[in-house]
Structures are given as C-alpha cells and as structure tokens.
Amino acid sequence: MMDLPARTFRITRTDLVRYAGASGDYNPIHWSDRIARSVGLPGVIAHGMYTMALVARAVTGWVGDPAAIIEYRVRFTRPVVVPDTDEGTELVVTGVVKSTTEEGARVLDLTATCQGEKVLAQARATVRA
Amino acid sequence: MPLDPAYAGKTYPPAPPYLVGREKIREFAVAIGADDPVYLDPEAARAAGHPDVIAPPTFAIVLCQWGIETLIGDPGLGLDFDRVVHGEQRFRYVRPLHAGERVTRTTTIEEITFRVGNHFLNTRTDMVADDGELVVTAWLMFVVRGE
C-alpha cells in the first residue's frame, strides 16, 4: 500500500486572520502576541482546527476525493507558533496506511510537524474505498 | 471554579437550525487553501454526484460554535474559557455537508473527568439533516487547566 508522501504547508499570520474570520474563532491567542504571551505562550499560535484542516487537505489530496474521509481525529499536543514574519512557519504532514477495514476503507496514521516537533498525537483518518 | 461533574450526560436543547451556505463554504475553503472545485463550483459538485457544493471535512467545526457558546454561557457548568485548551477533536461523517441543507445541532456533555490537576470535558454534537439523517458527529474535548 502506498503511503502519504510528505506535504508542506506554509502558515503566516495572514492565514490565521483569514481562518479566524471564516471559522468564527476569534480567540486573541491566534492574532495578538500580547495576549498569547499573557497566557504563557511564546507568541501567536495557529488555531488547532486550522492545523487539522491542513492535514485533512493532505489526506483528501492524496486520496483524490474530497468526500472520502469518513472518520478523522487528532489530539493537539503542541502549539504551532506563527511568527510575525513574511515566512511565518511550516507544517509538514506525512501519513502511513496502517490497516484496511472489512469494507475496504483505509486507516491512515498521520504525523504533523512544525520546526521538527510533532504537534499532533493519535492523528488518524479513515478514508472510504 | 471547577467543572460540576453532575453535568455529565446533560443534553442541551438543539441550537437554531444551521443553513449551510455556498458562500460560507467558499469562504472556509479559501481560508484553508482548499481549491478543489467540489467546494467552489456547484456544477463540478453535481458532476461528482453531490447535490451542491460540499463542505471541507473540518467545516463541521463551524456548526459546533453554538454548542461551545452554550457551554460557556451555562453558569452551573462552571466552564472558565480563559483556562480552556482544545485538547482533542474527532469527526465521523456519514456524508459531507452540502450547501442548501438545513442542519439541526444537538450538543451533549458525554464525560467530565479530573486527572493530574486538569479537568477534561468531553462533548458530542450531532448534526442531523431535515429528513432525520445523522450527517456528522463531532466530539470536542476541552482541557480546563487547573488553578
């Protein structure tokens, strides 16, 4: 079985502002360094759901069908810090096919890293055959 | 203030029905950089067998917002959102959400636990179409950091 090849997503502050508006999640830790630091973060971090959305893009792009995901879960273990620079940061997504269900759906174990550190745990998507 | 464990099992009244809109799907798809035509072009979506443009998988979190606000606004539960971290997220899809449908959302507190100084609040939101079909189930787990 072929595995999901590494895919890299660049994340900038602009992306976080756009995602805040589109999702309705205006938590200031995603746009204000001042508030992010006041709660003990190193600076503005990406929405966990934005990271989850990018990982899903890697999965559906690999499958070739945007409607293929039937189950999807992640645990958010480490914040994705997004500096206020033109380059922002990078998220690297990889995946391994772990098993196939009786119905033929494939179960993918997913890995997302930022600056060399894993930011998700138990990230898993099931895609229909 | 800690969470009240007696709230485990509580189901809140359904949120006002959510009308899934083409332009909201487009806005969300653009925001996550998803440019597949089935998210953006009704003709392409129909050609792929969908009634209208479909929503990207994690769009379902938008429909959870009402439930989250309900939990925050429930004084008896004692959820201090300044101390909350989104710990886990899980979705199960029967099919993708699509533009033009009306969805009823019901949020339930499945479990409240306490370990190593933190509270864990497990919630489930069921998203049901007008014809009664369960379309998406979303589980949100919040970590409430200890004082």
pTM of the model: 0.96
Chain B closest-CA separation from residue A87 CA (Å):
17
A13-66: pLDDT as tens digits: 999 999 999 999 999 999 999 999 998 899 999 999 999 999 999 999 999 999
> Which numeric CATH code is attached to B5-21+55-144?
3.10.129.10
Residues of B in contact with A56 (CB under 8 A): 56-58
DSSP string over A2-62: PPEEEEEEEE-HHHHHHHHHHHT---GGGT-HHHHHHTT-SS-B--HHHHHHHHHHHHHHH
Neighbour tally for A39: CB within 10 Å: 12
* Total number of domains constituting chain A: 1
Per-residue pLDDT tens over the stretch B98-128 = 999 999 999 999 999 999 889 999 999 999 9
pLDDT at B140: 97
Question: What is the number of CB-based contacts under 8 A between chain A and chain B?
Answer: 93
CB contact under 8 A, A60 and B36: yes
Any idea where the domains of chain B sit in the sequence? 5-21+55-144
The predicted structure's pLDDT at residue B147: 65
Provide the residue range defining the domain that includes A39: 4-127
Smallest CA–CA distance, residue A94 to chain B, in Å, is 18
Half-sphere exposure of B87 (CA within 13 A, CB side): 13
Q: What angle do CA A23, A26, A30 make, to 5 degrees?
A: 100
Q: How far is it, in rounded angstroms, from Cα A10 to Cα B25?
A: 22
Residues 32-91 of A with CB under 8 A from B: 39, 48-50, 52-54, 56-57, 60, 66-67, 69-76
Q: Chain B: residue nearest A53 by CA?
A: B58
What gap in Å lies between CA B94 and CA B132, rounded to an integer?
Answer: 13
Give the ipTM of the model, two decimals please: 0.96
CATH number for the domain spanning A93: value is: 3.10.129.10
User: How far away is chain A from the Cα of B45, in angstroms, using its nearest Cα?
Assistant: 10
Q: How confident is the model at residue B145 (pLDDT cuts 50, 70, 90)?
A: confident
Instruction: Please list every residue in chain A whose beta carbon sits closer than 8 Å to the beta carbon of residue B27.
Output: 21-22
